[in-house]
Structure 1
Amino acid sequence: MNMMTSRTFLILLFLVNSLSIYFLLHAQHRDGSSGRSPSTEGGRSRQPQTHRRRHLKPWPILPSYLPWSQEAAAVPLRSCEAYFGNGFGRRVDFLSSSSAAVGAGGGGGGGWFRCFYSETLRSSICEGGRLRMVAGRITMSRGGEKLEDVIGRREEEELPVFNDGAFEIEGSGISRRRMVTSDDLDRYIPAGDVSRHTVRELIGSIQVVGAAEFRCDQWVEESTLLVTRIEYANLFHTVTDWYSAYVSSRVTGLPYRPRLVFVDGHCSTQLEDTWRALFSGFIYAKNFSGSVCFRHAIFSPLGYETALFKGLSEEINCSGASALHLWRNPDDRKAARLSEFGEMIRAAFGSPVHKQRLEKPVSVHNVLFVRREDYLAHPRHGGKVQSRLSNEQEVFDSLQSWTDNHLGCKINLVNGLFAHMSMKEQVRAIQEASVIIGAHGAGLTHIVSATPKTVILEIISREYRRPHFALIAQWKGLEYHAIDLSGSYATPSVVVNRLSSIMKSLGC
């Protein structure tokens, strides 16, 4: 891409993002198919709460950004956009806003609830207005504690159980009833293969109550994303939750990055740094006292329902492409969404996302070796990781010796001790790498943030031949290589030779 084309592309990208935000801001008072919540109070139109929104983060300008405002119903079934973008084309209204409730306690305006269903993912993104949560009626641990303080706590204590009255929504009638039937849950929020589908349980527990019963101790005015996590300490599973929350925010047209409520009782982990960076902050449900009412709540699907996870058991035949390529050449078998998400992560940590890789000769190539280290992950974890590469240090030392004596271009071998690095440092190491090497393990999930032209070399032991990272590389359009082991021992010379071949392909 020449300089003029790059400049034109960036200007066009800025205009597209600016226009998208403009239309989103001016659509907030419409209750239509765009996904905006109705915004009336006491029969009057409410103006945006600008003093609150000053504390919400804007969406960054991303090179791989493609508009999310297209008509979802027109997205072809099982296309790449349906898997990774806005394939949530079927809108189902479970409760419509009723003028009968206007003026009732809490500010007036009837509650509403709807879901957007994806036949491709067999999952729904749901949202509602005038929703009340009483955290005291949710049985689970408090959440957010220091890991050291809750050692030995059972997983069952951390997953929520929704008792009657935990979630309610204001309706126009006087009789209490369940908002969604079991048949509708099966149709639009199927349990799938998950042992506990906590989002399904939450939505199934919501009761519609009359205006006289709908009383709130506090109100949350801005749009809020409700997230229930099952696995929260494993990077791969947490990335699927990040992606689900990101897609939910985009599909429902949020003009700012939302704040989150974790409706679970998990303890604090290092991965919260990225939740905090990606969005405008979070709070655990049990941190609320009394009843809290949300003017607009969005329910993020489980990470298990994203293409990142579903691709492990079903074929998702998509390859990565740039947004510019897809603008010029629409293709249902190509996707830029995962690259867009990776750019979002890099931007959230302050890394530049607009630079074009390899436009000029690289003086130093970083080769990042992702290590597996012992660390305490969650209350039931012993602190020891299972070895996927029995001679990891020997392989690292051999690579270090080769790079130190390499006679071509300068190669810097980076010791990726991620367990002892902040998330910002991890993301930066990924962004600056020309080649990423590592044994099969959750740490390689970071390649979602890798920049174009990065090469992936995965070392796979016999017991862990799973396609997680080959698929992510494919969906991002990254060059991928694998070394399959007969056991867990890698011959150092084989790894060195493979890296040598990769570096030659990079002109080194």
Structure 2
Amino acid sequence: MNRRNSMLLKILLFLFALNSISLCLYFTSHSSKSLQLQSDSRRPVPENPHIQHYHYSKPWPILPSYLPWYQTTKAVSFRSCEAYFGNGFIVRLDLLSPNISTINPAVQNGGGRGWFRCWYSETLRSSICEGGKIRMVPERVQMAKGGERLEEVIGRKEEEELPEFQDGAFELDGGEGFKGEKQLVSEEFLDQYVPEGDVLKHTMRQLIGSIRVVGASDFTCDEWIEEPTLLVTRFEYANLFHTVTDWYSAYVSSRVTGLPNRPHLVFLDGHCMTPLEETWKALFSSLRYAKNFNGPVCFRHAVLSPLGYETPLFKGLTEDINCNGASAQDLWKTPDDQKTARLSEFGEMIRAAFGFPVHRHNTGKPVSGHNVLFVRREDYLAHPRHGGKVESRLSNEQEVFDSLKSWASTHKDCKINLVNGLFAHMTMKEQVRAIQDASVIIGAHGAGLTHIVSASPKAIILEIISSKYRRPHFQLIAQWKGLEYHAINLEGIICQPRNCYRQAKQNNEKPWMLIRVWFWPKLIYKCTSFPCAAISFARCR
């Protein structure tokens, strides 16, 4: 009897399990079909489902220093800080207006012609242009393929990497009623709104000049890119300072055109890969090289990013941009044309792109002490024409670092952690982490100091400047971010800070604000407002 009951129980359990599995499969299949139907009903009907591609776009992060990017709804004063660093692109120029079917969401993908407009900044004398239903024909862009490993293209000339745009390299869909073809803009338009300025080869001007409007029957594509895409041309792509100007231009272009998510990128140049691409990929949604497309590719929405030479970061080297950094909260309450929070916003964008918290500076100083980052210059192979050697800005750099390290180790009360900033041996993410964690950033004049755009608001910048390199790159960035900055001016390329000490005394610097670092031969290093300054001079002399 017990055996029979046991058998019946097993049969019942088996039937229950079988029924449960059947129900699970039933609801799963119907749920997936329902979701598929729902998804398909929301997705626009493609013109050609075989060539249309959808890609994930990264959302914009929440940034403490973010302020709204107005367009024509708010006047921006000429040569104000917002005109330089924010949205001074308020002159709207419609070159090809969309027809009704193009802007009607119900039939957005069903027909209609393309559109093209530019946003011009009188302050920067530059334009951000954007267009819809625009086609790129890679075979009409003469340049190297790009994206190769550096070792594969050693010796390649720079002229081979910069693009030459033939007529029709880019085309706009003129719609069903348009016959023939025509140039989108005239030379007069380019001279007024995309001037060459001091740029010897203005590739973005040449690109816009190559755009033709063609009829719908001639507008065929091997691939459609549905998400907003930035088209970028780089020049000094292996140099951090110039690359930061490109990053900033791309970021501003994305904000000015009101993109809802971070755009995708297409490099319109034939440069090889560099470590700096890590940040490009972190900042934006994806990255491709123009010559890596197999045939004509069409963009539903393309944005043309101005050259890095046209940003305030570069123009400030020759123009007087009298702006000072301030907090976004203060500017929101009390707007000031002579102050800006845009560089702080941009620095937070870089940190957030790598997944670092951007609210850390509100938590106060770390109890473990202070990180003092010494940014080093190292030999490395930068580009195909580079010999692998960097020009020395401080000939006894290692000696200075060793002395600082020795001093910090014998003055533990100062709680200083000296960080060896060997950036050539660090990933971009590691470099940004070192910058954001630093209380003090020291370094000889060089591109690596451009990272201070991502420094915390309380960071102190000490730049060692030799007599051969007295350019204001990093003093200006510190000023525009509102960072405390001090220059250590040398007579040559050897650190002789004894003169700095004399100068400090003449400037009535308080003795306890100086830290003396002695090494052979005897040298004195001026570190104004060093974190250890809070400790008495007697304890840290």
Q: Same fold (TM over 0.5)?
A: yes
Match of 1:412 in 2: 417
Residue 481 of structure 2 corresponds to residue 481 of structure 1: no
Alignment map for 1:53-64 (pairs within 5 Å) = 55-64=56-65
**TM-score for the superposition, normalised by structure 2:** 0.82
Counterpart of 1:498 in structure 2 is 526
Report deviation, 1:356.
3.0
Q: Distance in 2 between matches of 1:422 and 1:116?
A: 36
Quote the Cα distance in structure 2 between the aligned partners of 1:316 and 1:506: 34
Shift of 1:52: 3.6
Cα distance in 2 for partners of 1:101, 1:247 equals: 26
Q: Deviation digits for residues 177-224 of structure 1, max 9, x if unmatched?
A: 110100000111000101110000000110111112111111111111
Question: Are 1:456 and 2:457 counterparts?
Answer: no
Q: Which amino acid aligns with 2:87?
A: N
CA distance in 2, matches of 1:272, 1:349: 13
Q: 1:394 aligns with which of 379, 396, 399?
A: 399
Deviations 1:369-400 (A, max 9, x none): 00000000000000000000011011111111
Distance 1:129 1:340, change over 3 A: same
Deviations 1:229-275 (A, max 9, x none): 11100000000000000000001011100100001100000000000
- 3-state DSSP class of the match of 1:342? helix
Equivalent position of 1:69 in the other structure: 70
- Structure 2 residue identity aligned to 1:236: F
Give, in angstroms, the shift of residue 40 of structure 1. 9.2
Residues 1:99 and 1:361: Cα distance change in structure 2 (over 3 Å): closer
Structure ID, larger Rg: 2
Letter in 1 for 2:69: W
- Out of 96, 103, 121, the position equivalent to 2:124 is 121
Q: What residue is the counterpart of 1:91 in the other structure?
A: 92
Q: CA deviation at 1:70?
A: 5.5
Secondary structure, counterpart of 1:225 in structure 2: strand
CA distance in 2 between partners of 1:232 and 1:362 (Å): 39
1:308 to 313, 326, 329: 313
Q: What is the distance in 1 between the residues matched to 2:174 and 2:289? A: 27
Counterpart residue identity of residue 82, structure 1: A
Q: Secondary structure at the match of 1:127?
A: strand
User: C-alpha deviations, 1:450-481, integer Å up to 9, x for none?
Assistant: 01110000000111000000000000000000
Residue 424 in structure 1 maps to residue 425 in structure 2: no
Q: Distance in 1 between matches of 2:406 and 2:267?
A: 46
Measured against aligned partners, the alpha-carbon deviations of 1:8-48 in whole angstroms (never above 9, x if no partner) come to: xxxxxxxxxxxxxxxxxxxxxxxxxxxxxxx99899xxxxx
Partner of 1:268: 273
Deviates more, 1:402-411 or 1:469-478: 402-411
Number of aligned residues:
463
TM-score by length of 1: 0.87
Task: From the superposition, tell whether residues 507 and 194 of structure 1 become closer, same or farther in structure 2 (CA, over 3 Å).
Answer: farther
Counterpart mapping for 1:130-145 below 5 A = 130-145=133-148
Q: Matched residues in 2 for 1:58 and 1:198: separation?
A: 30
Note closer, same or farther for the CA distance 1:122–1:500 as it changes in structure 2 (3 Å cut): closer
Give the conservation status (yes or no) of the 8 Å contact 1:91–1:115: yes
Identity of aligned residues (%): 70
Q: Deviations over 1:78-103 (max 9, x none)?
A: 11000000110100011112369999
Shift of 1:409: 2.5
Aligned to 2:512: none
Q: Which amino acid aligns with 2:257?
A: T
Give the C-alpha shift of residue 358 in structure 1: 6.2
Alignment-mate amino acid for residue 181 of structure 2: R
Match for 1:352 among 354, 357, 367?
357
> What one-letter code is carried by the residue in structure 2 that aligns with 1:157?
E
Map 1:12-23 onto structure 2 (within 5 A).
none
**Alignment map for 1:148-187 (pairs within 5 Å):** 148-172=151-175, 173-187=178-192
Q: Which residue of 2 aligns with 1:445?
A: 450
**Is the CA contact 1:42–1:108 (under 8 Å) kept in the aligned structure 2?**
no
Letter in 1 for 2:84: Y
CA separation in 2, counterparts of 1:66 and 1:333? Answer: 16
**Consecutive unaligned residues in structure 1, runs of 5 or more:** 1-38, 44-48
Contact 1:95 1:113 in 2 (8 A): yes
Distance 1:272 1:72, change over 3 A: farther
Report the RMSD for the aligned CA atoms in angstroms.
Answer: 2.4
Structure 2: runs of 5+ lacking an equivalent: 1-42, 501-515, 518-524, 537-541
